Amino acid sequence: MTERQGHHGGVNGGGGPQPHPYAQQPNPYAHGEPYGQQPNPYGQGAPLNPYAQPSPYGQQPNPYAQPSPYGQQPNPYAQPNPYAQGGAPVPYAQPVPAQPTPATPPARPAAPAAPAAPASPGAAPPADQFPGPGPRRNRAAVLLQFTLQWIYAPLWIAALVALFAILLWSGGGGPSGPDSDAWLKVNRTFIPPRRLKAELTGRPEDWERYLTPILERRIRAAETKHAAGDGEVCEDLSRVMRVKFPVRLYRGLGAAGVVRLAERYGWEGGSAGGGTERVWIRRVFPAPAPSFAPGPHDPPAAPGTPWGPRPGRPAFLLPFMFVLQIAYVPVYGVLSLLIFQGRHPEPDYWDRWGARWAVGPCAFWAEFSGSAAAWDRHVRRVLNRTNTGNASPGGRLRINLATYRGAGAQRALWIAAEKGYVLDPAYAPTPEVCVRLLHRPAAATA
């Protein structure tokens, strides 16, 4: 018992406790603490690995390393370039003649700026020169006028009808009206329901919504009139169409707003000097392209062609048409005004209708007989009558188809040339409807 204790307890033989050889020594192969805490058993500066040999290439130079023959020493195979700069010339090269360096031309002085061309007197002014929205009307006054107009407008129209009846039956000896025709137009004091909202709110968008259909309708009517030959002819043979708008139609939008709307349809603002009570818009239509038209002395056109004689109506129908037209022409005109409001999309509709369904008293015998001499006398008679106010140079006149039906448009040009008239270049020729002439006295002596 005592010996076991002495052997294990370390009291055998009176000696002290002996350390366990494996418990006290660290494991040299343990990871994380190989030789960090223990001194190097192989001496100071020795490598930890006893088998490691110093690298012959680390601290000592590589005995097998040889210097590059092309790095520090010249290449024994390198040959000098015989054609390099400073060497022999290229054997097949052709000598290039030296080109003289062109002298730099002296700087040209800047041309003075051309003066701005003066504005044409007929040019449209810019949009900023047109006045803006006008002052709003009193709402109470607008409502009062809208209410009372349903009473005084019918009375006004009845008074106008009675006045015309008095003038008709009195033989011209009745009362005469004022010089202005404003008292005849009841619509100027009438507020339609569509404009009532714009007058009450005063907002520009409400005025624009009210004015846009009116502007579109008047622009279409003006373009139709231009196709029918209307418009002011300019010096360059272009034609100008103008449309007027009174202030009651655009009060809350302003003249500048009207011009802005017109520009959407290719129109522009007209003269801004008309005051604040109206605004004009206009459009310049260019001169028509030159088209074929026979001269008065060219060979006569064949019958039935646009420039030749047109076929006449049956002779036995002419007397009936001459008598009945006294009744059906006014009736058809009134019905057209009431139902169609006198507007037709086809240009020159009334001229075409009259040439088809009416018979002129002066042209009755020429068409009834079909004589070429009678047609010539009729054309000369019409030219003499219409030439009264257009005899000055530059005067223009128009001859309808009913005047030269049996003679032909080319024959009418020949007769008009005797009085100094030529075909007007400002209009596209339409011999199936009319002939437009321009007075040039030099043409009569040519």
Question: Do residues 258 and 168 both lie within one domain?
Answer: yes
How many other CB atoms sit within 10 Å of the CB of residue 252? 23
Overall number of domains in the chain:
2
Contacts of 271 (CB under 8 A, 6+ apart): 125, 280
Question: Does some domain include residue 95?
Answer: no
- Is residue 257's pLDDT more than 60? yes
Question: Does some domain include residue 311?
Answer: no
- Is residue 304's pLDDT more than 80? yes
Domain range enclosing 259: 127-176+183-285
For residue range 236-246, list pLDDT tens digits in order. Answer: 999 999 999 99
Among 187-196, 340-349, 427-436, which is the least confidently predicted range?
340-349
Question: Do residues 262 and 133 both lie within one domain?
Answer: yes
Question: Do residues 261 and 337 both lie within one domain?
Answer: no
Question: Do residues 213 and 281 both lie within one domain?
Answer: yes
Phi-psi region of 127 (alpha: psi -120 to 50; beta: other; left: phi over 0): alpha
Note the pTM of the prediction, 2 decimals.
0.61
- High-pLDDT (> 90) share of the chain, %: 33
Question: Does some domain include residue 111?
Answer: no
Question: Does some domain include residue 68?
Answer: no
Question: Do residues 324 and 187 both lie within one domain?
Answer: no
Question: Does some domain include residue 293?
Answer: no
Q: Please, what is the Cα angle at 288 between 285 and 291, to 5 degrees?
A: 170
Question: Do residues 157 and 199 both lie within one domain?
Answer: yes
- Is residue 78's pLDDT more than 60? no
Question: Do residues 350 and 215 both lie within one domain?
Answer: no
pLDDT of residue 243: 94
Question: Does some domain include residue 434?
Answer: yes
Side chain identity at 303, as an amino acid letter? P
Question: Do residues 338 and 234 both lie within one domain?
Answer: no
For residue range 31-56, list pLDDT tens digits in order. Answer: 444 444 455 555 555 455 555 555 44
Question: Do residues 131 and 255 both lie within one domain?
Answer: yes
Question: Does some domain include residue 326?
Answer: yes
Between residues 79 and 226, which one has the greater pLDDT? 226
- Is residue 343's pLDDT more than 70? no
Question: Do residues 143 and 257 both lie within one domain?
Answer: yes
Question: Do residues 419 and 270 both lie within one domain?
Answer: no
Phi-psi region of 14 (alpha: psi -120 to 50; beta: other; left: phi over 0): left
**Alpha-helical runs (H) found in 294-422:** 318-339, 349-357, 364-369, 372-386, 401-404, 409-417
pLDDT of residue 162: 85
What confidence category does residue 188 fall into, taking pLDDT thresholds of 50, 70 and 90? confident
Question: Does some domain include residue 137?
Answer: yes
Question: Do residues 324 and 267 both lie within one domain?
Answer: no
- Is residue 350's pLDDT more than 90? no
